[in-house]
Structure 1
């Protein structure tokens, strides 16, 4: 038997710090067998034989701790738990099993995550993995498909991407078992799309890409916007293109598209010999998420008297290990001419044929 304990958080703290307002439904789960097990102490609940802490990357999973309970942790999680006080715990490793009476739990662990598989019921308690913000329905089949898949991808791109190597190991282990339902710590339970979301995690954690391009830019006097449009016109003859203006698009949505894009193009006007501060913030945010280096990156923009700032974007791409494809025509002094825009379009057509 499973008991779900849920609570709605109307503004996710991590997103709120970015100036983004998004709700989230948080869950703890109680498994009742001869022994009582709680999956995730994110919500106040105690009095179990064991409490599994599924994630050590967010403080919210380490808040409602009780000194009378026994916690299941990883080797790295043990150090974190000890730093918070004197708690009883049991360390589990990858593949360990726990007999809780008539049924058994199997743990797929890395330094930062514990995913728990309820063997006799084919149920996965996934913690942060397979979570979504912005989805308020209880089950995936009762959610609008486009919304839940978009939020699902956005969560991976902005929360889990830095840990994709750990996730890859977990997914490889899950290939060996049958999974009928996935119960994450945030968002809807997966019952209809379990095979699809497992496939997507396998793909994203591999760092591979689709034949898509993401264009990110900000423009002041329309020059950079004209270049962005010319690049889009050239690329979309051969592949799908997503365009984001930093004036309007939240960085979390941009990273959702960058996640599996083959190409990333970033444009900025040069201000006081430097790139626009919103562009600089986006680049630093992207860097913090450690995206796959299997990407082709192209800088573009405009300037008035000095174009030195463009070197910042090129250097940034190189530090991330992206393959940089660039031509001087991509930075124009003031507004680009019609001839220049046509040349940029032709550049983009050639760009679309490249591979990382």
Structure 2
């Protein structure tokens, strides 16, 4: 391996690691707040990328119909509760947000061909179609089981992943998609080409991580999530609604996944089931952080990206095995050094 190949592999490793770091942070956040090991995190990545690819192909993305179905389900569940409680004034906002929004988006895309929209507008539309799925999925699948054991939540998470993967196949088909690069800039570093898209991915990931830091440190909602992650019972006694915390962290997880998918769509072909493998590598980073430490999870995810890149050069047929084998010594070390704590009673 010469210097040029070393730099190229390092460039790919850092680029992939930056995306894995975002997913690892989302997984740690969701688990810390809701105790859910969120297996479908990768589906947000695939849906974000494939939604943008559909818009650029001039098609109305199937994400709209999934969003409409989820919104209708949420409207029915919450509408029944509001009627029983006699809170009729909240019914119009509920229906407008969950049903009117997706219908309006669908009507707009049928009226204006997506190919006529600027790239920035297509990106914004893709994010707006995917992000609301986060709190909707929490409301439908996890909110009724908020006090269930972690194992039950994990089973539901796996079932949700399988359902979303099947829906992804239905809406987007088995063919993969790849979007054009956001920039055509190219540089040289040590004789190795450095693509502008790669720089954009790393910079965007860094900005998102910094934004998350300031969100948790400087905003009231971020502090509420931190409090819920540290002590759910204490946060509830202090007036922080657990439902609000759950919906907020799922919203952030969906946003991180959608943005990650849009960023990597020009770099690799995304299929309906690509999100699972990408999310699983972010999960390895989250495990390195013990599903608790954000900085260690981010660093662990970057390590996963570098290990994947360099192992593809030396043993490309076994690169996935090498990456996922990394989790074994981490789990062994944690099992030997951590004290077992009984699950918190709600």
Give TM-score, length-normalised by structure 1: 0.24
- Structure showing greater Rg: 1
Greater RCO, CA 8 A, separation 6+: 2
Q: Whose helix fraction is larger, Structure 1's or Structure 2's?
A: 2
